[in-house]
């Protein structure tokens, strides 16, 4: 004999026994009822022995014959009571008892008490409501309606109270830690999609419902629904679904959870904006919103929706159809708001500064789209898939259109003011930094540009990728513009310095980045050859006149008048000094940006000028020495000239 339960539990256990007995005519319903009750108290799971075996079952199993059967077989002649009448009477009694429980909560004496204020009240109320499901009669029907209304309110309040307060830093930090934004959390062993209704992910124990005692803190993120609340919500849902109140249940779930997910979206920085509002926002603000959108999309799909799907699965495990409807109603609001912003960006005004944010949005959406589709089914899945794929196409169009706009902007750059000193033009820096960033989106751009006809086939390399052709097009436009701007300098030597500075900057940006693999070594070799040509052009245009002063051509023969030779030498040295000093005055203010190129140019100057000067002075110094003012003409020794050449191309301001 089992020990009697404590006095405080006798009433509850007795009521549970009566209720379960009344459901003995339906084994499936009875099993469900036992599961609900045992979720509150494990001792109630022992009620399975309350169901008598079907007639003849014991005999078939070789068990003892019931005394009633023995009496009947003895033929004592007494009338036996009809078992159907007894069952009907018991059912009437239990329905009345259940209705009384519900009515007691509707009476003024119940006050503002909540059914789920205590475990005993919740157990009794849920058992009574479950008992009334399908019960005939006006009283039972009225009590059931009252019970469903109360449970609906309790369900709503639990959904609201069960969600923890949201804070941007907590939400993002929690999700970023768990997701790392690269691995879908719902494919992780930490996320157990054990609901057979979701993408056929029925795992070990997948057919077993998850009660409140089986939900751990690790399985549910704290910002969605508290673990203890999930079990209570599930118990309410089971009763309401069995009573045929799925529409009311789904409406409440969808409304509350939709608002919660939309609040999460706002916390992540994604606000609801119309196309007109997006168009009016200044770029600095819009850039921040696009950046937050990229992060929020991954957080929502891989964090919020994955967890929402999981919780929905736990609460509504007994009805896969209701689970699908509830999740769809809860999730579609935040998903559509995300997609609508992406669409507004895709069809908005194009400008070059938006390109990399648009590419980021394109890649983020393409990356999570399979996962996003997997959360939905039926018409909802088809709708989300169609919308998202359409936005992907339009984002791709925006990428191609923005690149075309950028190419046109390079060609249309109209500044006419030459940079002092022949330095690197801001256009060169901007374009090359822009182009170098394109290589970070290699895979996406090769896909998007594969069939784009925009004069991309400009190279002689048949193996060049679509992105390689695009980069080559942009750099070719840039080089043409730099050639054009070099003609703004009147000094041919400075033109060559400007061209060297800019082309070397272009080559270095290519060589030191992924652009090298796109354009190839041959392209780099050709541009280095161009730089050498510019260097030769500089030396010729700057130093030809200086070196002409150090030639013997045109000097009087020594057999003639020595005074004529001396006068000619004085003119030569005087002209050399003037030419060199003019070059020193101007070219020390010029700037060769790259240190190695700067030193190479200085060495080239020294190699051309110093030997010629040393030889000329060595041959003719004796003609001027001893004469009056000879130091005025031979002002420099070779070491002085070498020291002065070292000051060239340092960008020194005149008189500095």
Quick check: 223 and 307 in contact, CB under 8 A? no
> How many angstroms separate the Cα of 579 from the Cα of each of 480, 571, 586, 606?
33, 12, 11, 15
Q: How many angstroms separate the CA atoms of 116 and 79, rounded?
A: 48
Quick check: 534 and 499 in contact, CB under 8 A? yes
Q: How many angstroms separate the CA atoms of 585 and 225, rounded?
A: 77
Q: How many angstroms separate the CA atoms of 54 and 527, rounded?
A: 95
Altogether, the residues listed in the chain come to a count of 656
Residues 110 and 147 in one domain: yes
Residue at token pair 């804070």: 167
Structure confidence at residue 176 (pLDDT)? 52
CA 140 from centre of chain = 54
Residue 590 in any domain: the answer is yes
Q: Please, where are the H alpha helices in 412-465?
A: 426-438, 442-448
What does residue 650 show for φ and ψ, rounded to 5 degrees? -95, -5
Q: How many angstroms separate the CA atoms of 525 and 561, rounded?
A: 55
Residues 392 and 446 in one domain: no
CA 380 from centre of chain = 23
Q: How many angstroms separate the CA atoms of 357 and 360, rounded?
A: 5
What does residue 51 show for φ and ψ, rounded to 5 degrees? -95, 115
Residues 523 and 576 in one domain: no
Residues 291 and 337 in one domain: yes
Tokens of 470: 């695009």
> Among candidates 257, 204, 203, which has minimal Cα distance to 230?
257
Measured between its terminal Cα atoms, the distance across the chain in Å is 110
> DSSP class of residue 350?
-
- 463's CB contacts (< 8 A; 6+ apart) are none
> How many angstroms separate the Cα of 335 from the Cα of each of 185, 191, 287, 384, 390?
18, 21, 21, 8, 14
For the stretch 288-322, pLDDT in tens is 999 999 999 999 999 999 999 999 999 999 999 99
Which of 495, 526, 542 is a domain's end point? 542
Q: How many angstroms separate the CA atoms of 315 and 317, rounded?
A: 6
Structure confidence at residue 170 (pLDDT)? 57
Tokens of 394: 């339009």
Number of H helices, E strands in the chain: 25, 0
In a 3-state reduction of DSSP, which class is residue 205?
coil
Residue at token pair 């691995």: 183
Residue 557 in any domain: the answer is yes
- 252's CB contacts (< 8 A; 6+ apart) are 152, 155, 156, 159
Q: How many angstroms separate the CA atoms of 528 and 518, rounded?
A: 17
Residues 441 and 523 in one domain: yes
- Alpha-carbon torsion 77, 83, 89, 94, what sign? positive
Q: How many angstroms separate the CA atoms of 323 and 253, rounded?
A: 10
Q: How many angstroms separate the CA atoms of 461 and 468, rounded?
A: 10
Residue 6 in any domain: the answer is no
Residue 139 in any domain: the answer is yes
Which of 387, 412, 437 is a domain's end point? 412
Q: Please, where are the H alpha helices in 347-459?
A: 355-374, 378-411, 426-438, 442-448
Structure confidence at residue 177 (pLDDT)? 53
**What is the extent of the structural domain holding 100?**
95-181+223-236
Q: How many angstroms separate the CA atoms of 109 and 107, rounded?
A: 5
Q: How many angstroms separate the CA atoms of 275 and 279, rounded?
A: 6
Residues 524 and 426 in one domain: yes
For the stretch 90-130, pLDDT in tens is 888 889 999 999 999 988 877 778 888 888 999 999 999 99
Residue 73 in any domain: the answer is no
Quick check: 215 and 315 in contact, CB under 8 A? no
How many CA atoms are closer than 13 Å to the CA of 234, on its beta-carbon side? 30
> How many angstroms separate the Cα of 501 from the Cα of each of 405, 409, 425?
26, 22, 9
Tokens of 376: 């939905």
What does residue 591 show for φ and ψ, rounded to 5 degrees? -135, 120
Residue 83 in any domain: the answer is no
Q: Residue 274: how many CB atoms within 10 A of its CB?
A: 11
- 525's CB contacts (< 8 A; 6+ apart) are none
How many CA atoms are closer than 13 Å to the CA of 631, on its beta-carbon side? 0
The Cα angle at residue 227 between residues 224 and 233, in degrees rounded to 5 = 85
Which of 385, 412, 439 is a domain's end point? 412
Q: How many angstroms separate the CA atoms of 12 and 498, rounded?
A: 94
> DSSP class of residue 591?
B
Residues 364 and 451 in one domain: no
- Alpha-carbon torsion 523, 481, 597, 434, what sign? negative
Residues 324 and 370 in one domain: yes
Residues 432 and 394 in one domain: no
Residues 399 and 279 in one domain: yes
Residues of the chain with pLDDT below 50 are 1-8, 11, 23-26, 48-78, 179-222, 656
Residues 140 and 27 in one domain: no
> How many angstroms separate the Cα of 545 from the Cα of each of 169, 578, 600, 609?
70, 11, 21, 11
- 580's CB contacts (< 8 A; 6+ apart) are 546, 636, 641, 644
Residue 3 in any domain: the answer is no
Residues 583 and 529 in one domain: no
In a 3-state reduction of DSSP, which class is residue 621?
helix
User: 591 pairs with which residues across the strands?
Assistant: 650
Residue 138 in any domain: the answer is yes
CATH number at residue 627: 1.20.1280.170
How many domains are contained in the chain? 5
């Amino acid at each position: 004999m089992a020990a009697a339960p404590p006095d405080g539990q006798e009433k509850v256990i007795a009521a549970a026994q009566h209720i379960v007995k009344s459901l003995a005519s339906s084994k499936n319903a009875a099993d469900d009822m036992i599961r609900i009750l045992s979720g509150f108290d494990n001792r109630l799971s022992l009620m399975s022995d309350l169901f008598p075996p079907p007639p003849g079952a014991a005999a078939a199993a070789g068990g003892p014959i019931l005394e009633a059967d023995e009496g009947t077989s003895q033929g004592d002649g007494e009338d036996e009571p009809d078992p159907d009448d007894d069952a009907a009477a018991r059912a009437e009694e239990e329905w009345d008892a259940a209705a009384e429980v519900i009515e007691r909560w509707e009476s003024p004496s119940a006050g503002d008490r909540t059914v789920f204020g205590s475990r005993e009240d919740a157990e009794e109320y849920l058992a009574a409501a479950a008992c009334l499901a399908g019960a005939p009669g006006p009283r039972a029907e009225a009590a059931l309606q009252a019970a469903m209304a109360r449970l609906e309110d309790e369900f709503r309040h639990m959904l609201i109270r069960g969600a923890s307060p949201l804070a941007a830093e907590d939400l993002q930090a929690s999700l970023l830690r768990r997701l790392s934004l690269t691995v879908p959390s719902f494919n992780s062993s930490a996320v157990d999609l054990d609901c057979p209704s979701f993408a056929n992910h029925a795992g070990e124990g997948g057919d077993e419902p998850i009660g409140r005692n089986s939900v751990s803190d690790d399985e549910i993120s704290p910002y969605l629904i508290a673990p203890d609340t999930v079990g209570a919500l599930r118990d309410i849902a089971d009763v309401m679904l069995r009573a045929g109140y799925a529409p009311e249940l789904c409406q409440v779930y969808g409304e509350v959870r939709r608002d919660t997910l939309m609040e999460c979206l706002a916390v992540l920085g994604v606000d609801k904006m119309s196309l007109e509002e997006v168009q009016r926002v200044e770029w600095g603000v819009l850039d921040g919103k696009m950046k937050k959108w990229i992060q929020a999309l991954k957080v929502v799909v891989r964090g919020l929706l994955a967890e929402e799907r999981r919780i929905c699965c736990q609460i509504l495990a007994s009805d896969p159809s209701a689970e699908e409807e509830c999740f769809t109603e809860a999730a579609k609001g935040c998903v559509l708001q995300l997609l609508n912003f992406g669409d507004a960006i895709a069809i908005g005004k194009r400008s070059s500064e938006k390109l990399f944010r648009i590419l980021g949005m394109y890649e983020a959406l393409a990356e999570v789209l399979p996962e996003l589709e997997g959360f939905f089914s039926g018409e909802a899945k088809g709708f989300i898939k169609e919308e998202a794929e359409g936005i992907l196409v339009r984002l791709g169009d925006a990428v191609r259109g923005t690149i075309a706009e950028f190419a046109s902007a390079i060609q249309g750059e109209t500044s006419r003011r030459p940079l002092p000193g022949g330095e690197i033009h801001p256009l060169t820096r901007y374009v090359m930094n822009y182009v170098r960033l394109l290589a970070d989106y290699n895979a996406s751009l090769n896909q998007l540009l594969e069939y784009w006809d925009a004069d991309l086939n400009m190279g002689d390399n048949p193996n060049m990728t679509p992105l390689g052709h695009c980069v080559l097009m942009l750099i070719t436009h840039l080089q043409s513009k730099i050639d054009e701007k070099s003609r703004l300098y009147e000094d041919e030597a400075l033109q060559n310095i400007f061209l060297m500075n800019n082309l070397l900057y272009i080559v270095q940006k290519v060589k030191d980045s992924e652009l090298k693999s796109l354009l190839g070594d041959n392209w780099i070799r050709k541009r280095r050859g161009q730089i050498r040509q510019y260097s030769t052009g500089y030396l010729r245009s700057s130093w030809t006149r200086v070196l002409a002063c150090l030639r013997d051509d045109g000097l009087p023969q020594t057999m003639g008048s020595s005074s004529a030779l001396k006068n000619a030498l004085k003119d030569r040295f005087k002209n050399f000094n003037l030419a060199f000093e003019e070059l020193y005055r101007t070219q020390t203010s010029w700037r060769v940006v790259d240190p190695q190129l700067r030193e190479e140019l200085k060495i080239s100057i020294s190699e051309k000028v110093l030997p010629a000067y040393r030889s000329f002075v060595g041959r003719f110094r004796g003609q001027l020495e001893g004469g009056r003012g000879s130091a005025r003409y031979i002002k420099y020794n070779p070491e002085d000239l070498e020291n002065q050449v070292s000051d060239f191309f340092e960008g020194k301001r005149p008189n500095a």
